[in-house]
Structure 1
Amino acid sequence: MAAPTPIEPPRRPEDFPAAFADAWARRDGAAIAALFAEDAEFVNVTGLWWTGRDAIARPHDYALKSFFAETTLRPGRVSVRQLGPQHAVVRCRFHMDGQRAPDGAEAGPRQTILIFVLERGASGWQAVAAQNTEVMPGQETFLARDGLSPTSYRRG
């Protein structure tokens, strides 16, 4: 993988989601990975667990140049919890549209919540860990039966 794309690290934890969305808009996995520490970990929405900047860059680069090539990723609600002067947890609800289905048709809009664990370095904040969770409105859990499907146990 090529060296990380130069990108200015956010100066405040609350700026991290916008920096992530800006890197996404570049359609460059290395730009996303540049926001992460060299040994960072990232768990994607399907539970794939990547360790290291190169491992984070490769699948993002593939997706951003294929089925996410026409997507728009917009940060929504952001919460920040400082864990001292050098660490913070940032949660952001992201809204995405423009994904392509395997048959090439446009898929519907999605929402996810990304959790970033940040560490402050000399030049700004970097993620040391991230986890992405799909938002499934009205659902309570997943049910494994002939595949995995979102499920609600409430009636009415």
Structure 2
Amino acid sequence: MPVSDPKEFPAAFRDAWMARDGDAIGALFDEDADFVNVVGIWWEDRPAIARAHGYALKSFFSETRLTLGRVKVRQLGADHALVHARLRLSGQRAPDGSVAESRSTILSFVLARHDDGWLGVSAQNTDIVPGAETLRAGPDGLTPEDYRR
């Protein structure tokens, strides 16, 4: 489902999320779009994007609230745009059923203009880790680090 203006894309994504509709999220993207989630899982077409979001929105994200913050649009010519959106996610369920703490993310979308509007061709989701500037790999996984101190 294309949007008429790139600045509308993050709100359309949020609305589909809040409706718990993976197919509606998928419909925001081109058939051969790419979506990389916060842990680097890479979905490489519309059906995979829809299926992955549908699963998550019916399970561990079933009671989440996605709040849209700042949106920045950069036109990349007449037919392409880069959109960054800050979002806050609350209500995620942990594997034991408890409610996780809220977290913030930046979603980056590359959009392409079609005859009927704008669709996503790529998305990258990046968690915001307060007080960190990078991650360091160790034997127990990734640890946020700040070398500026």
State the TM-score bracket (shorter-chain normalisation). over 0.9
Secondary structure of 1:125's aligned partner: strand
Equivalent residue runs for 1:121-136 within 5 Å: 121-136=114-129
What residue number does 1:4 align with?
none
Q: CA deviation at 1:13?
A: 0.5
Q: Aligned-pair distance for 1:56?
A: 0.6
Residue of structure 2 in register with 1:28 after alignment: 21
Tell me the equivalent position of 2:142.
148
Counterpart for residue 52 of structure 1: 45
How far apart, in 1, do the equivalents of 2:148 and 2:114 lie? 46
Match of residue 18 from structure 1: 11
Match of 2:81 among 77, 88, 92: 88
* TM-score, structure 2 as length reference: 0.96
Identity of aligned residues (%): 61
Q: Distance in 2 between matches of 1:61 and 1:10?
A: 20
- Say yes or no: does 1:119 pair with 2:115: no
> Structure 1 length as normaliser, TM-score?
0.92
State the AA in 2 paired with 1:133.
T
Tell me the secondary structure at the aligned position of residue 106 of structure 1: coil
Query: For the residues of structure 1 that align with 2:33 and 2:45, how far apart are their CA atoms?
Result: 5
1:101-156: CA deviations, max 9, x gaps? 1110010001110000001111111000010000001101111112112111233x
Distance 1:13 1:154 in 2: 36
Match of 1:61 in 2: 54
Aligned residues: 148
Distance in 2 of aligned mates of 1:119 and 1:59: 22
Identify unmatched segments of 5+ residues in structure 2: none
Runs of 4+ in 1 over 3 A off after TM superposition: none
